Amino acid sequence: MKKILIIAFLILSIDAAIDAQSTPLNDERDGKTYSTVIIGEKTWMAENLDFDAGEGCWAYDNDEENAKIYGRLYNWETATNACPTGWHLSTDEEWDNLVISLGGALAAGEKLKETGTENWLEPNLATNETGFSGLPGGKYEFGDFMNLQKTASFWTSTESTGNKSYCKGLRNKTITVKSTDCYQNDAFSVRCIKD
């Protein structure tokens, strides 16, 4: 009997964790709904943000169909204010804690990327075991859109030096997470984290 109760408790715990992970984020500003995922103790968006903030954000190639799949690309200033109420642009420390919890920068990338080659170019080294479903929205640098389906670049809210802030990157050909500082005028994807 004790064994049956333990098994039942475990099943209920797993169901509760799945329910918590699938609670959607409804953005009241434009009515869009985003999947979310709990990794560790933090709730992350499981999709790239697609809020049209006006100036400072773009759909890749100015094509709204790309925004529906990959979200929008934001310069840093716009990214810092783009998340809906109750959510924020993650800090560099929050990203680092996420990466460390997944085995470090040399291994975490595959656990954060959407699997398959529908949205990523081959070879896409990915397991997506976290459900984060990282998408390769490319970037907008020096007036050019580049690397759609090859790279996922995400802003953090943490400033570096000069006119740079920290960003995180995933590539189709690697299982790593790249951490660097990027020019604030460049435009990258945004993943919000719950306050």
Contact 170, 125 (CB under 8 A): no
Q: What is the pLDDT along the chain (195 residues), one digit of tens a residue?
A: 444 433 333 333 333 333 345 589 999 999 999 999 999 999 999 999 999 999 999 999 999 999 999 999 999 999 999 999 999 999 999 999 999 999 999 999 999 999 999 999 999 999 999 999 999 999 999 999 999 999 999 999 999 999 999 999 999 999 999 999 999 999 999 999 999
Q: Which two tokens stand for residue 194?
A: 């719950």
Q: Which among 161, 163, 160 is positioned nearest to 184, based on CA atoms?
A: 163
pLDDT score, position 22: 57
pLDDT score, position 165: 98
Helices (H), 23-170: 64-70, 76-79, 92-101, 108-112
Say how many C-beta atoms besides its own lie within 10 A of residue 179's C-beta.
15
Whole-angstrom Cα distance, residue 35 to residue 21? 8
